[in-house]
Structure 1
Amino acid sequence: MDTARPEYRSEVLRELEQIPPEFLPAFLKLVRVFRESVTLPAAQDSFRQGWKEALRGETRPVSELWEDLDAG
């Protein structure tokens, strides 16, 4: 899915070249989080998957989910 205009790629690469090496690990993490956030499955697909899991009994108590969030 290469729909971005070539100048965007060039601009991103120019910016990348200006980042000090010690900041590259943090930058890489930022880029990955961004990519994952914009490539989430469609809400309808996500709901269908969740509904199937619920029907199969693949659920967890809300209190347990909060524990996971608090720990993370």
Structure 2
Amino acid sequence: MNTYHTDYTNRLIQEIKATPEEYLPTLLNIVRIFRESITLKPAESSFRQGWEEAMTGETMPIDELWTGIGNDG
């Protein structure tokens, strides 16, 4: 384990220890949901989901895909 990793691990442990015990289940759920949200799905799973969406008509016209994203107004 490198120093960078160890430092963040230690800081996380300190934050957990400073959290009142009655809030630990909620904190655990937050950490679990965060981890699951950033974990990439395997390519096969992502492709399968995309293929199923395409085959069932869950699509959007290309000109609508970026609507409202990155627009200032």
Unmatched tracts of structure 2, length 5 or more = 59-73
Judged with a 3 Å threshold, the aligned counterparts in structure 2 of structure 1 residues 20 and 54 are, in CA distance, closer, same or farther, namely: closer
Between structure 1 and structure 2, the one with the greater Rg is 2
* TM-score, normalised with respect to structure 1: 0.59
Structure possessing the higher relative contact order (Cα contacts under 8 Å, 6 or more residues apart): 2
User: How large is the RMSD of aligned CA atoms in angstroms?
Assistant: 3.2
List aligned pairs for 1:18-57, cutoff 5 A: 18-41=18-41, 46=46, 48-50=47-49, 51=51, 53=52
Identity of aligned residues (%): 36
Aligned length: 56
Larger helix share, 1 or 2: 1
* TM-score, normalised with respect to structure 2: 0.58
One-letter amino acid of the counterpart of residue 48, structure 2: Q
